[in-house]
Amino acid sequence: METIVFYILAAVTLVGTVLAITARQGVHAIVYLVTSFFALALIFYLLGAPMVASFEVIIYAGAIMVLFLFVIMMLDLGKPEKIQTPKLYDWCPAILLLVVITGSMGVLASRAATPLNAFAGISVQEFSFTLFKRYGAAIEIISMQLLFALVGALYLGRRR
């Protein structure tokens, strides 16, 4: 049962992301991406991480995507992008990526899969203990980084 649900969710995630990349209209792309985030959140839930699942919905699908939507609305970027049909040359990176992905899939599929230990549910307490104790230093560094990203954005925004 779980396996079937997982494959359905994985398919939704992949299709949603591909559509988000190929969508011509910014707003459509965001809606596709939100769909893919919701499916991803459910995959996290299946893996036994309800906290991460709820963060995925609240922060990514909720806060960040709404922010993107605001920016698109504010800058009035709602009109579809006009792009020329890609030339043969433009396909080169895509073909290279395809070769890399097929190669890595081949390598991974050629070996016998070792099933992972079954995931036990992780409580909020365990999650926050790991996050703020074991990786507390990382949290501090990220906070500094975000602060200075903000400072830099404000400063550089003065450019005319």
Q: Which is nearer to another protein, 77 or 138 (CB)?
A: 138
Stretch that binds another protein, among 2-10, 21-29, 31-39, 152-160 (CB under 8 A): 152-160
Residue 110 Cα distances to 3, 19, 81, angstroms: 21, 30, 42
Please report how close the Cβ of residue 60 comes to another protein at its closest, in angstroms.
17
Within 76-135, the residues that bind another protein by CB under 8 A are 104, 107-108, 111, 133-135
**Of residues 79, 82, 87, 159, which one binds another protein by CB under 8 A?**
159
Please report how close the Cβ of residue 1 comes to another protein at its closest, in angstroms.
26
Backbone dihedral region of 121: left (phi > 0), alpha (psi from -120 to 50 degrees) or beta?
beta
- The amino acid occupying position 54 is S
Residue 25 Cα distances to 1, 4, 29, 32, 83, angstroms: 37, 32, 6, 11, 12
Please report how close the Cβ of residue 156 comes to another protein at its closest, in angstroms.
6
- By the rule CB under 8 A, 144 interacts with another protein: yes
How many residues bind another protein, per CB under 8 A? Answer: 25
Q: Rounded distance, CA 4 to CA 9, Å?
A: 9
Q: What is the DSSP letter of 58?
A: I
Kindly list the residues in this chain that would bind another protein in the complex (CB under 8 A). Answer: 104, 107-108, 111, 133-138, 140-142, 144-145, 147-149, 151-152, 155-156, 158-160
